[in-house]
Amino acid sequence: MKKLLLTISLVLFATPIWAQVDKEADQKRYGKGQMPFNEKGEVVFSRVVHEEGHDKKALYNATKLCITNIFNSAKDVIQLDDPDQGIIIVKGYSVIPTRAAMGMIVDANIYYTLDIRCRDGRYKIDIRQIKGHSPAGMTNGVYLPATDTPAELLTYDLCFKQNGKMKAIEGFYRRAIIDCCNRLLIQIQKDVHNNLTANSANDTEDW
């Protein structure tokens, strides 16, 4: 009995600590400034990547290969493909496992427009027109239509309580969108660099 009471006491003592850790982690990862609004009030995740020594054509080719590897069917998602201008625009989506109410992990569908523009020595990634998508379906015997949640609605004030803790329901798509876009930026930068490195190695290989 004493062991049981001790266990319960430890759990009750630890719960506020865990909650504080979660709050601090959420503030750092999803808090103010993590959902980037531009001067027009649009949410756009952007990154300019410098790749010195590579011209626009090489960067475009590396980017095109990156898009082909990321998406199952590049032909279906590419909306604009202009090698002369070094521009690729994609309408894509990603499935992101995300913490929801009661700590459950639920897949979130995130739709976006991916815009990559290449110049000599650098390229720019923009992820815009971002939204969380909930497909239609039955929930507890009730049919719910599909709904979209634009990133612009997921402000800090909407998704966080006054005490700084993130709201479970409102914060779900804010978490998913921020994670999705940041991971996509990192993946594109890594893949493009690897593609450029691989191409350079092939160019110098002695046949």
Residue 102 confidence (pLDDT)? 80
Residue 22 confidence (pLDDT)? 83
Question: Rounded CA gap, 23 and 14, in Å?
Answer: 14
pTM of the model: 0.84
Q: Residue 16 — very low, low, confident or very high, per pLDDT cuts 50/70/90? A: very low
Could you give phi then psi for residue 140, rounded to 5 degrees? 55, 40
Question: Rounded CA gap, 130 and 24, in Å?
Answer: 26
Contacts of 158 (CB under 8 A, 6+ apart): 167, 170
Q: Residue 103 — very low, low, confident or very high, per pLDDT cuts 50/70/90? A: confident
Report the pLDDT averaged over residues 35-58. Answer: 96
Instruction: Pick 81 or 20 by higher pLDDT.
Output: 81
Q: Are 30 and 24 in contact (CB under 8 A)?
A: no
The greatest distance separating any two alpha carbons of the chain, rounded to the nearest whole angstrom, comes to 77
* Domain range summary for the chain, segments of one domain joined by +: 43-136+146-204
Q: Of 139-143, 151-155, 197-201, where does mean pLDDT reach its minimum? A: 197-201
Report the pLDDT averaged over residues 120-128. Answer: 97
The 10s digit of each residue's pLDDT in 60-88 is 999 999 999 998 877 889 999 999 999 99
Residue 137 has pLDDT above 90, yes or no: no
Q: Quick one: CATH architecture of 43-136+146-204?
A: 2-Layer Sandwich (3.30)
Greatest mean pLDDT among 39-53, 130-144, 193-207 lies in 39-53
